[in-house]
Amino acid sequence: MSGRRDWTKETLVAGVRSGDKRALARAITLVENGDPLAYAVVGDLYRETGRAHSLGVTGPPGVGKSTLIGALVHHVRKLEETVGVISVDPSSPFTSGALLGDRIRLTEHFLDPGVFIRSMGSRGHLGGLSEATLQALLMMDAAGKDRIFIETVGAGQSEVEVIGIVDTVLLVLMPGSGDSIQALKAGIMEIPDVIAVNKMDHPAAKTMANEVRSILALDRDREWKPPIVLTEAARGEGVADLWAKIEQHRAYLESSGELERRRRENLAREVFGVATARAKEHLVQTVQGNPDLRRLLDAVQARELDPLSAVREILEQVFHIPPRDA
Ligand SMILES: Nc1nc2c(ncn2[C@@H]2O[C@H](COP(=O)(O)OP(=O)(O)O)[C@@H](O)[C@H]2O)c(=O)[nH]1
Ligand SMILES: [Mg+2]
């Protein structure tokens, strides 16, 4: 028997639609490689998406995000819902071969047909990591997963962008993650929808929770008050409570109309983001490949042409954008 199977758009679409793990895995690999076939598959399936609830799980390294996701998957499976997990944490990919202690909770789910777990590499995507992650999310959605969890390390621009595609944002902290507290306080970090203070077995956990509570209290006119839940992910403590809060947020999103508003905003941001990245790529390549345009840059360097005149000329030639001034 041949191990390889030649997928076509039709077999991929049908496979993803039926929830076939191999088709889903293949489709996501194609997305990661920027293969046009992947975009055709997403294009075919897109109308069937929008059913899944997506949860972004963010926070500093080591707070217990992966462990907590494992515990949440366990909990959700008991409720007979299906789950897709996407990890965009390059430092701790979920691999089926991993034997490290903190991955055991997830590896127990690798054989469960109701769970699909996937790491996303941060290889060069024009539209950034969020582009590939969104495509993967859409395919898991089309594959019928009820819940999609996305793990990101809460630092850096690309992680912020990735978190920008989900419905509900869960921030995970632990006693001692003072940087995140500062970031929340300074307004650098968007207020998440739900906060878990993990490692509640640590003596300083309650103090930490109180500190977060006092920061959130400053923000009185927010309609949705982000709940704070103490958890011990490694033992599953507080996980049912955390899930109840995530569910409350989802219900709030639906009843308030916020879900539609948020998705519209997220998708528009994504479309503009990817379009901007593509336009930039086109600009760079066109200028590099065109001696006349390159000469404009030389002329700027030689002080024969001012920078904005060069801009005007380049935009006109590359994008047919007419000069602004009459
Ligand atoms: N004491 C304690 N350790 C935990 C808890 N949750 C996770 N850990 C441990 O913290 C470490 C980091 O966990 P991990 O899930 O990989 O964190 P991530 O980097 O945020 O994904 C691992 O050694 C976990 O076993 C907890 O509730 N209590
Ligand atoms: Mg992790």
DSSP string, 241-268: HHHHHHHHHHHHHHHHSHHHHHHHHHHH
Query: Does residue 63 have its Cβ closer than 6 Å to ligand 1?
Result: yes
**Cβ 93 under 6 angstroms from ligand 1:** no
238 Ramachandran zone, left/alpha/beta (phi>0; psi -120 to 50):
left
Q: What local confidence, expressed as pLDDT, does residue 92 receive?
A: 53
**What's the pLDDT at 113?**
87
233 lines ligand 1 (CB under 6 A): yes
Ligand 1 within 6 A of CB of 135? no
Q: Is the CB of 55 under 6 A from ligand 1?
A: no
Q: What is the pLDDT of residues 228-252, one digit of tens each?
A: 999 999 999 999 999 999 999 999 9
Mean pLDDT value across the chain:
88
User: Does 198 lie in the same domain as 85?
Assistant: yes
- The residue segments making up the domain with residue 87 are 50-256
Question: How remote is the CA of residue 173 from the centroid of ligand 1, in Å?
Answer: 11
Among the candidates 256, 279, 294, a domain finishes at 256
Ligand with the closest atom to the CA of 65: 1
Would you state the pLDDT for residue 184? 84
Q: b/e for 52-86, b at 16 or more Cβ within 10 A? A: bbbbbbbbbeebbbbbbbbbbbbbbbeeeebbbbb
What residue owns the CA closest to ligand 1's atom 15? 64
Question: How remote is the C-alpha of 237 from its chain's centroid?
Answer: 26
Q: Please work out whether the CB of residue 102 comes within 6 Å of at least one atom of ligand 1.
A: yes
- DSSP string spanning 146-207? SEEEEEEES-SHHHHHHHTT-SEEEEEE-TT-HHHHHHHHTT-SPPPSEEEE--TTSTTHHH
For residue 247, how far is its CA from the centre of ligand 1 (angstroms)?
23
pLDDT at 89: 65
Neighbours of 24 (CB within 10 A): 24
Residues 173-197: pLDDT tens digits?
999 888 888 888 887 778 899 999 9
Q: What is the dihedral of CA 68, 69, 70, 72, to 10 degrees?
A: 90
Closest CA to 18 of 142, 179, 173: 142
Q: Which of 256, 283, 304 is the last residue in one of the domains?
A: 256
199 Cβ below 6 A of ligand 1: yes
Same domain, 214 and 267: no
Residue 101, pLDDT score: 39
- 177 pocket-lining for ligand 1 (C-beta < 6 Å): no
Whether residues 221 and 85 share a domain: the answer is: yes
How many CB atoms sit inside 10 A of residue 316's CB?
12
What is the whole-number distance in angstroms between the Cα of residue 89 and the centre of ligand 2? Answer: 6
What's the pLDDT at 99?
33
User: Does 242 share its domain with 107?
Assistant: yes
Indicate if 173 and 234 belong to the same structural domain.
yes
pTM of the predicted protein model: 0.90
| 3 in a structural domain | no
Q: What is the pLDDT along the chain (326 residues), one digit of tens a residue?
A: 444 578 999 999 999 999 999 999 999 999 888 899 999 999 999 999 999 999 999 998 889 999 999 999 999 999 999 999 998 866 554 544 333 334 445 666 777 889 999 888 655 555 567 888 999 999 999 999 999 999 988 666 666 778 889 999 999 999 988 888 888 888 777 889 999 999 999 999 999 999 999 988 888 788 999 999 999 999 999 999 999 999 999 999 999 999 999 999 999 999 998 899 899 999 999 999 999 999 999 999 999 999 999 999 999 999 999 887 64
Interval between CA 153 and ligand 2 midpoint (Å):
8
29 assigned to some structural domain: no
Position in ligand 1 atom list of the atom nearest CA 237: 27
The predicted pLDDT at position 156 comes to 65
Count of structural domains, the chain: 2
Domain-located, residue 140? yes
For residues 80 and 189, membership in a common domain is answered with: yes
* Residue with CA closest to ligand 1 atom 24: 102
Distance CA 254, CA 302 (A): 59
Centroid of ligand 2 to alpha carbon of 205 (angstroms): 20
Q: Whose CA is nearest to atom 22 of ligand 1?
A: 102
Q: Is the CB–ligand 1 distance for residue 103 below 6 Å?
A: no
What integer pLDDT is reported at residue 288 of this predicted model? 94
**205 in the same domain as 315:** no
